[in-house]
Structure 1
Amino acid sequence: MQYDVLVIGGGVGGGSVALNLASRGFKVAIVEERDWGGTTINRGSTPKRALLASAETHFRMTQLVKDVAPLSWSEMASHSAKVVLAANQRYGNNLVNAGITTIEGHATFVNSNTILVHGQRYQAKTIVLATGARPRKLEFPGSQYMEHSASFLKASNLPDKITIVGAGIIAFALASIATEAGTKVTIVQHNRMALRIFDQGLVQTLISRLENAGVVFKFDNTIQNITELSSGSYQVTTNQDQFETKAIYCVAGRVPNTEDLNLSVAGVKFGPLGIKVDERLKTSNPQIFALGDCCDAPVPKLSNYAIYQGKYLGNNLQKPVQFPIKYPTPALTVFSIPKLGQVGISTQKAADKPELEVKTMDIKNWQTYARNGDDLAKLKIIFNKGNQQIVGAEVLSQDADQLVDYLSLLIQQHVSADDLQQQLFAYPSQASDLYGIWQSR
């Protein structure tokens, strides 16, 4: 069967490019071997945010009133499952309604323009690889007892004592959700670094908040073995400690899905970081492109980047001249309690730029944060000393995700203090609080 474009991978990145091309009249087919919507919708951001919604609501209530009823994990899980199912169905329907051919199964290359799925051959002049990534496996005695974040996010019941291996974005989100649900959490990290790309002062404040909530951090601990006990619990032995837990979730990174595709027959080169692409997301085969977690583009492996790359390819494929991808102001958030957000230039990078100034602001008394009892709210804003434009920020607060999105617009549009004063926002709101960024200087 012949198509204009074949997309391998039915996640949010693959769907982004497929829907964009279909809207432009291209004949498109998309292949998915597991769940439509990929990791993001089924085993990642969507269930994580659904569970976090319950946990955040509970946390906010405890900040404002006494004697808040405990959370029910079964009710949280039921709500999350409904959200995921609806998102999955909506995603699949969007593909079908756009006239895209959906193919279920594992794809392998036959040659540079032909793939094989369940014995059926499909051809296209252009192929886009969006196969995503999978959890990294750690190997040591008893490592088979470890589960991954997907198991946590889909659990109908959560043990009262769990261990999380890793100290990155996913670890802090899972720890926050579980702690608010009444579970005792231990985080094991092989070195002393947590959330390494974020402002370490804000990270330490977040760690202290979680420690006060009962989370135990074991830094500089490398797991040596895990033993299953007769009680059904597990004994974890590290290079420094030994303790019992009832479940272990490994979130120590992900590896790109590049094996079993037979990429070599298509002339596609790949390495440990994924499929090799240039600044146009083109692989070593000029008719094959790659995006998202499966490629080695030098950007964070996050859903928003995969979606943006999909839009870029959808707008540029088949054009006689393809311009290099240009990423907008980066914005990302750790969905912990409270959240940790970053936009534009980080405080770490700003420290090496004499033309920039970092201003730390205690914003807990700003209206948005005061009325929500957000007593840890803090903002670090990076200004250009010359024109006073904002070029970056890092924030710790319950609403950090919203604030970094507002700031992203200001940075992207090069808004100055005078420009902002010409805007009229609803009051009181988080947007109207933005006036305080300059008034506090």
Structure 2
Amino acid sequence: MSEYFDLVVIGAGSGGLAAAKRAASYGARVAIVEGDRVGGTCVIRGCVPKKLMVYGSAMRHHLHDAVSYGWSVGDISHNSAVLLQRVRAEVDRLNQLHIGFLENAGVQLVRGWGRFADANTVSVVDPSGSELQRLRAERILIAVGGRPHRPEIPGAELGWVSDDMFNLERLPERVVVVGAGFIACEFACILNGLGVQVTQLVRGDHLLRGFDLESSRTVQEAMEADGIDIRLTHSPASIEGTPGDLTVITQSGERLPCNGVLLATGRRPFLQGLNLEAAGVAIESHRIPVNADQATNVSHIYAVGDVTDRVNLTPVAVDEGRALADTIWGRKPRQVDHELIASAVFSQPELSGVGLTEEAAIERYGADGVKVHRARFRPMSQALPARDPKVLLKLVVELASGKVVGCHMVGEHAAEIIQMAAIAIGMGASKADFDRTMALHPTVAEEFVTMPN
């Protein structure tokens, strides 16, 4: 006998949780199916534990700089096992917190893996594939997120993916990081900050494709100055050895001995086991395509978050889930704007931006239609330690309208500053609007409103 719901959500990650709770708040009867811990990638094996490790690794610089301010810190050592254990404990706490949020919202949590039996029925199975129960629903939401993708090279199974990093008991001495994206750069900085020797293999000629090029190169310079060995135009051909004693062989034949390999080579939607064909849900290039209202080709089946492979960021998945619930059960139709979304890389130094990069603006408006205002300097926080990296601030302006179409920063607290700048950019602020805003002194952010014309 199947239970009947207004909404069944497959996947208790950020998007699924947001949709389930918002729909329930409007009176819908909701069930959410999850075979793993509640919280999804962001809470369990992504943004949250990673940011905690960023804070932990940044302590090395703070302790080093303390001497310049008169503090005597003595001998410094780090126990990575303690940090990793405490990060896992915080993740466990958040997992329980999210379970409580579901209960308080009146959402029924169903343990197991969800797969379609037909277009209106979700079969809940255990890890072996044995059916535990069936749920029928008027509407079904697919919110299963993505999973790390391993490159197809010999020995790839010997490497770690990002999920594995949080389950280590302690960090090794030497690690090869493969990849140039934000996950690769963030973990390279984390490991380096915690005393690990890091070599980073980058297939292309620069880091962080898709971000402002000058900003990404500023990050690269700082990473290299901090001791990370970045090898551009280098790719792994294979991995050999046994766990803890590995060798990466590059395509040029170079052999890199290490104690671990992090394969940060992208993520893909997690479609395995969903049995989408039973519901008639279409797939396009490893993802589930949806329209502006999150609907798949089957009108009562929806998808949000990384499984749609549009803008794969936690706040985007959350807003997509809430917009779906607002539209259907709240009777307040709205669609998510995917055009203007701030993003950040929690590297060291931090990079963040909103709007068009310098390269994208030139492509859209032409080289003569864009003016870039920039400031690069040593921040006051580094005046006494007298060390780099310098910060970089950029405003990208469309000359015809005078509007600021891009705002980018590399430096401490970049994401916090860009979050507020995103409001101004979204409201169509001009360079003149920035100019007439009184500076808050002494701050790094004041440079955004004091850049000369």
Query: SS of 2:166's equivalent?
Result: helix
Contact 1:256 / 1:295 at 8 angstroms: preserved in 2?
Answer: yes
* Structure-to-structure mapping, 1:32-431, within 5 angstroms: 32-65=34-67, 69-117=76-124, 118-228=131-241, 232-240=244-252, 241-296=254-309, 299-318=310-329, 324-327=335-338, 329-352=340-363, 353-354=365-366, 355-365=369-379, 375-416=389-430, 428=442
Query: SS of 2:135's equivalent?
Result: strand
Counterparts of 1:138 and 1:417, CA distance in 2: 44
Deviations 1:376-419, CA, capped at 9 Å, x for gaps: 10111112334533221121102111111111011122344665
Counterparts of 2:221 and 2:108, CA distance in 1: 50
Contact 1:420 / 1:435 at 8 angstroms: preserved in 2?
Answer: no
In the alignment, structure 2 segments of 5+ residues that lack a partner are 125-130
Q: Which amino acid aligns with 1:123?
A: R
Shift in Å at residue 87 of structure 1?
Answer: 1.6
Q: Which amino acid aligns with 2:87?
A: S
What is the identity percentage for the equivalent residue pairs of Structure 1 and Structure 2?
26
CA gap 1:385/1:232 in 2 versus in 1, 3 angstroms:
closer
Counterparts of 1:370 and 1:28, CA distance in 2: 55
CA gap 1:187/1:262 in 2 versus in 1, 3 angstroms:
same
Counterparts of 1:411 and 1:210, CA distance in 2: 29
Shift in Å at residue 217 of structure 1?
Answer: 1.6
In the alignment, structure 1 segments of 5+ residues that lack a partner are none
Shift in Å at residue 95 of structure 1?
Answer: 0.8
CA gap 1:64/1:374 in 2 versus in 1, 3 angstroms:
farther
Query: SS of 1:309's equivalent?
Result: helix
Q: Which amino acid aligns with 2:328?
A: L
CA gap 1:39/1:439 in 2 versus in 1, 3 angstroms:
closer
Shift in Å at residue 40 of structure 1?
Answer: 0.9
Query: SS of 1:96's equivalent?
Result: helix
Q: Which amino acid aligns with 1:207?
A: Q
Counterparts of 1:123 and 1:327, CA distance in 2: 32
Shift in Å at residue 371 of structure 1?
Answer: 8.0
Query: SS of 1:206's equivalent?
Result: helix
Shift in Å at residue 113 of structure 1?
Answer: 0.8
Counterparts of 2:426 and 2:377, CA distance in 1: 23
Shift in Å at residue 20 of structure 1?
Answer: 1.0
Counterparts of 2:184 and 2:280, CA distance in 1: 37
Counterparts of 2:31 and 2:302, CA distance in 1: 15
Counterparts of 1:6 and 1:167, CA distance in 2: 37
Counterparts of 2:205 and 2:431, CA distance in 1: 39
Query: SS of 1:214's equivalent?
Result: coil
Matched residue pairs, number? 435
State the superposition RMSD in angstroms: 2.5
Counterparts of 1:416 and 1:369, CA distance in 2: 31
CA gap 1:53/1:259 in 2 versus in 1, 3 angstroms:
same
Contact 1:363 / 1:369 at 8 angstroms: preserved in 2?
Answer: no
Query: SS of 2:207's equivalent?
Result: coil
Counterparts of 2:93 and 2:400, CA distance in 1: 49
Contact 1:50 / 1:80 at 8 angstroms: preserved in 2?
Answer: yes
Worse overlay, 331-340 or 206-215:
206-215
Shift in Å at residue 358 of structure 1?
Answer: 1.4
1:437 alignment counterpart: 449
TM-score normalised per structure 2: 0.89
Counterparts of 1:185 and 1:221, CA distance in 2: 15
Confirm whether residue 5 of structure 1 aligns to residue 16 of structure 2: no
Shift in Å at residue 200 of structure 1?
Answer: 2.0
Q: Which amino acid aligns with 1:316?
A: T
Contact 2:15 / 2:304 at 8 angstroms: preserved in 1?
Answer: yes
CA gap 1:436/1:90 in 2 versus in 1, 3 angstroms:
same
Counterparts of 2:67 and 2:401, CA distance in 1: 44
